[in-house]
Amino acid sequence: MSEVITGYYQTQPSIAFSGEGAEKTAIVQCKSIYYKQVNETVRAAIEEGAHRIVLQGINGQRYIGDGIVAKDVTIIVEGVAGQDLAMFMGGATVEVLANAQDGVGNTMDSGEVYIHGHAGDVIGYGMRGGAVYIRDDVGYRVGIHMKEFKSHKPLIVAGGCARDFFGEYMAGGELILLGLDSQGQRSDQPLVGNYIGTGMHGGVIYLRGEIQPFQCGKEVGIFAAEEKDLASIKKHLEKYVELFATDFGSDPAELLEELLSSKWTKLSPTSSRPYGNLYAPL
């Protein structure tokens, strides 16, 4: 896998279709192709009725799935996905068989994203709906200003650890952090950094483990998760182990059992109007 990338070329990638109807698959050769042409080809493949689009040879191309509105379409990314994966996306499913860079699910509307590896900073910024599952660690500023409205309720599950500003300004949805290492064992790294939930005024954060109050913003209430809380996130954990347990070589049921039997912390905002009393109107 140590092939040299000499640059990104603004040429159309080659695309091959196979199968019919719901099975229709497009295989796109993306090695050294500029993101614009890659994304044009993804859109064209959807127009052509492909339900499965395999992007081979991806190496950091940006904006994969950006603004794509499609149902019953799965985009498989073979290689490291570049910045802003699935930004503004509506409805599709994106599965990355490697790491992803920053901005996964930025302002995402709906659909699902699965990352078989780490993801970078600012995951799910302003996310409005859909779900992002990341197998391993995430960086800084994850889940900032996620918001929910009626049936739109965003979810991020990160399997590893997270850095500072987790869930800052959070206004809705669910953020779940599991603290596993890349072998699927309890990580020995710090679970999460500081400034968790600063300015939080909606939504809920679940952390597998314990944190210190000084790590959180003052708008956050810290609770030990109860049985009903765990029951409410069980389906998300099931999905996580279904997606990733085999990557670890673990048994899904055992991993789920381990996750569910852990001690969890629940964070929720103390007010939906944290700045309601800040002002003296003139």
Partner 1 sequence: MKDYTQPEFHVDIDYSKCHKCGRCVGQCGWGVYKFNERPIPDDSKCRACHRCVTFCPAHCITIKKSELAYRENANWEPQTRKNIWRQAATGGVLLTSMGASRPQQSIFDHLVLDACQVTNPSIDPLREPMELRTYLGNAEKGPAIKIETPLTFAPMSYGAVSLNVHKSMAMAASRLGILMNTGEGGLHADLYPYQDNVIVQVASGRFGVDPEYLNRGAAIEIKVGQGAKPGIGGHLPGEKINQEVSVTRMIPQGTDAISPAPHHDIYSIEDLRQLIYSLKEASGYKPVGVKIACVNNVGAIASGVVRAGADYVYLDGFRGGTGAAPAVIRDNVGIPLEIAIAVVDQRLRDEGIRQQASIIAAGSIRSSADLAKAIALGADSCAIGSAALIALGCHLCQGCHTGCCSWGLTTQKPELTRRLDPEEGAQRLVNLVNAWSHELQEILGALGVNAIESLRGSRERLRAVDLDEQTCKILGVKPAGM
Q: Which residues are near partner 1 by CB under 8 A?
A: 35-36, 39, 62-63, 66-69, 83-84, 87-90, 102-103, 106-107, 109, 122, 125-126, 128, 141, 144-145, 147-149, 152, 165, 168-169, 171-172, 199, 201-202, 272-282
Closer to partner 1 by Cβ: residue 118 or 201: 201
Closer to partner 1 by Cβ: residue 26 or 200: 200
At closest approach, how far in Å is the CB of 142 from partner 1?
Answer: 10
At closest approach, how far in Å is the CB of 46 from partner 1?
Answer: 13
Closer to partner 1 by Cβ: residue 12 or 246: 12
Question: Rounded to the nearest 10 degrees, what angle do helices 252-260 and 227-248 cross at?
Answer: 150
Cβ atoms < 10 Å from Cβ of 18: 11
At closest approach, how far in Å is the CB of 144 from partner 1?
Answer: 5
At closest approach, how far in Å is the CB of 58 from partner 1?
Answer: 16
Closest CA to 267 of 192, 207, 208: 207
- CA 166 from chain centre, in angstroms, equals 13
Closest CA to 54 of 36, 41, 70, 69: 41
What one-character-per-residue DSSP string does 32-48 give?
A: TB-HHHHHHHHHHHHHT
At closest approach, how far in Å is the CB of 128 from partner 1?
Answer: 6
At closest approach, how far in Å is the CB of 122 from partner 1?
Answer: 5
Closest CA to 248 of 159, 151, 150, 126: 159
Question: What gap in Å lies between CA 205 and CA 271, rounded to an integer?
Answer: 15
At closest approach, how far in Å is the CB of 272 from partner 1?
Answer: 4
Question: What gap in Å lies between CA 32 and CA 74, rounded to an integer?
Answer: 22
Closer to partner 1 by Cβ: residue 46 or 245: 46
Closer to partner 1 by Cβ: residue 126 or 179: 126
Closer to partner 1 by Cβ: residue 91 or 209: 91
Question: What gap in Å lies between CA 229 and CA 224, rounded to an integer?
Answer: 9
CA-to-CA dists, residue 12 to 5, 32, 45, 67, 81, angstroms: 17, 11, 13, 20, 19
Closer to partner 1 by Cβ: residue 125 or 244: 125
State phi, psi for 252 to the nearest 5 degrees.
-55, -45
- And the tokens for 247? 């990557």
